[in-house]
Amino acid sequence: MIDKTNSAGISIQEQEVEKKEILKRYRSLLRACRNSIDKTDRKMIRLAFDTALEAHKTMRRRSGEPYIYHPIAVAQIAAEEIGLGATAIVCALLHDVVEDTHISLEDIRGLFGPKVEKIIDGLTKISGVFDQKSSLQAENFRKMLLTLSDDVRVILIKLSDRLHNMRTLDSMPREKQLKIASETAYLYAPLAHRLGLYAIKTELDDLALKHTEPEVYRTIAQKLQQTKKDRDKFIFEFIKPLKEEFIRMGFKAEIKGRPKSINSIWNKMKKQQVPFEEIYDLFAIRIILDSPSDQEKADCWRAYSIVTDFFVPNPDRLRDWISTPKANGYESLHTTVMSNSGKWVEVQIRSIRMDEIAEKGYAAHWKYKESAAENALDDWLGRIRELLENADANAIDFIDDFKLNLFADEIFIFTPSGELKTLPSESTALDFAFEIHTDIGSRCIGAKINHKLVPISHKLHSGDQVEILTSSKQHPKEDWLSFVVTAKAKSKIKTALKEQKRMSADDGKEKLERRLRNLKVDIASLNINDLLLFYKVPTALDLYHRIAIEAIDLKNLRDFFTEEGVPKHKSVQKPEGQSFEELVKTVRGSADMLVIGENMDKMDYNLSPCCNPIPGDDVFGFVTVSEGIKYIEPIARMRFN
């Protein structure tokens, strides 16, 4: 979003107007954090503001506005919408100075100390992930998560940065809007959800839809506006008797109607395959209780009792996230009741503390010093670290595995000793085994669920008590990948399979060399690519592995050579002057299209070095004999190059 044009050409009058606007926005920032900062903090924030203002003084955004508007807005989001403290506000104001100006990390350390320097360093290292000038890079995302495991404020500030960029996306070219919106919907909205930032997650989803499906967004927004009057009347009539009863019972409570997001309505329309007019739950009723911490749970259930005295509940739609909060700390009591007009209405019941945590995520947990919440965050970050420990993992596989656990609904499983474990819904006994320990997962042969024997592929349900059965003779198998769902299980199985493949490949290579020596072939002069072409396998590792497991018979190797020991088959070379289309035809043959399934670990591929595709892109590529699929490139991006 940066356009580094000089401010020359701006009139003195316009400069004065901009100075007043900058000061106004800075004062608004101070008001947003006034309850959480002291005099020392205020001085530090002022120094950060002055530093950023001076560093960015010649820079303007794509919209033409002074660039300083952006860091002030990011700091305001971090303070007001996430609830972060002075250190994070300072870092938000400075988040682009090392990346885009003459200021160094050493300067930051000298002015603001080592803690601020470390966070700014983390923000700078991962800037490529969020930078509008680059596409989503899997390796950069790994770096971001490494930084996240050091200080979660890094990602919270980056999410604030992304939210402001999404709010101001209208000034960007259409192709960049599509790319940035796709990245946001694919990774950053789910990441906000996983950190408990529901308000930010919802807005990111809506803004992504606005730019990826503008007609859909516009239509739903217009229809929501057209039906607002009737909806407001319905909400008023629904909550009126509840308010009166809550007052009579001595409750301090706020009751309000909360509209569903445009993105969630669109998802319902797609899932149920119905038009907007047939989506009835366009809003939820939220009851927020002012209760002391030791009475919250009891008060929520008393409030539930009042609601069900007036309206009949759907017994299948009761969700108790107060007794067992979600892994990201979310606590609330959800029920769906039948209104007097014959419509189902979702009712959410929670305390003020629970509501703040639902809106502001882990930042609010720290405010309330919830050790359980910090432990939940530590557990989640621990899982990320485990995934990152696997240095051999393909970065794109890592992204897919990581994303699996961002948006999944959760189930609660008990160990034989009664310890509670949280897993994504659809998890199997094998997922649970890997959740306990990698070795237990690798040696798992079955499980006892509620004292009954089941296979390792058995899907678990909330409340199951699971005992894992193991054998020292068991080892991971490729078909396991077809039914596990957790990122940890997938990652560990893939690592074990690759290790098994490497070990068997060593045996296969030895067999091949022995056979070549028998045929009196000079191994040193042999081009392995010629053999890959002959046996129609993509890589040398695959060749050796298939020889080891006897999927390739070396008896016909003699047919590969002439009597002089020279290969009859040569790998495809690109002749000088051959067109791209001719090369594609040479490699592809007569087939019209290559269809790739989900099992990508069986096929090597390379992305085009100039234009990496992002989720949502239509791509094309062509198959080479020795290096799998080459030059995968976004079709849409080709039209712009």
Helix count (H) and strand count (E) of the chain? 28, 16
Give the separation between CA 213 and CA 206, rounded to whole angstroms: 10
Q: How many residues does the chain have?
A: 641
Q: Quick check: 613 and 589 in contact, CB under 8 A?
A: no
Respond yes or no: is residue 100 known to be catalytic. Answer: yes
One DSSP character per residue, 471-512 reads -TT----GGGGGT--SHHHHHHHHHHHHHHHHHHHHHHHHHH
Buried/exposed code over 520-541 (b: 16+ C-beta within 10 A; e: otherwise): ebeeeebeebbbbbbbebbbbb
Q: Quick check: 619 and 633 in contact, CB under 8 A?
A: yes
DSSP letter for 591, please: -
What the block records as the tokens of 560 is: 């590969």
Name the catalytic one among 99, 107, 131, 478: 99
Q: Quick check: 436 and 468 in contact, CB under 8 A?
A: yes
Q: Quick check: 216 and 268 in contact, CB under 8 A?
A: no
Query: Which of 405, 404, 433 is closest to 421 using CA atoms?
Result: 433
Q: Quick check: 153 and 87 in contact, CB under 8 A?
A: yes
* Measured CA distances, 138 to 134, 144, 397, 613 (Å): 12, 10, 9, 11
Give the separation between CA 174 and CA 159, rounded to whole angstroms: 22
* Measured CA distances, 535 to 21, 268, 588, 599 (Å): 70, 49, 16, 21
- Neighbouring-strand partners of residue 337: 313, 345
Q: Quick check: 249 and 306 in contact, CB under 8 A?
A: yes
β-pairing, 420-424 vs 444-449, is: unpaired
Give the separation between CA 169 and CA 186, rounded to whole angstroms: 17
One DSSP character per residue, 177-230 reads HHHHHHHIIIIIHHHHHHTT-HHHHHHHHHHHHHHHSHHHHHHHHHHHHHTHHH
Respond yes or no: is residue 99 known to be catalytic. Answer: yes
Under DSSP, is residue 66 helix (H, G, I), strand (E, B) or coil? Answer: strand
What the block records as the tokens of 158 is: 């980056």
Q: Give the DSSP H/E element, type plus range, for residue 619.
A: strand 619-623
In 237-321 the beta strands, taken as DSSP E runs, fall at 253-259, 283-289, 312-313, 319-320
Under DSSP, is residue 277 helix (H, G, I), strand (E, B) or coil? Answer: helix
Name the catalytic one among 100, 151, 213, 604: 100
Lateral strand order in the sheet of 629-634: 605-607, 629-634, 619-623
Give the separation between CA 508 and CA 25, rounded to whole angstroms: 68
Cα 245 versus chain centre, distance: 43
Give the separation between CA 313 and CA 315, rounded to whole angstroms: 6
Which residues are known to be catalytic? Answer: 99-100
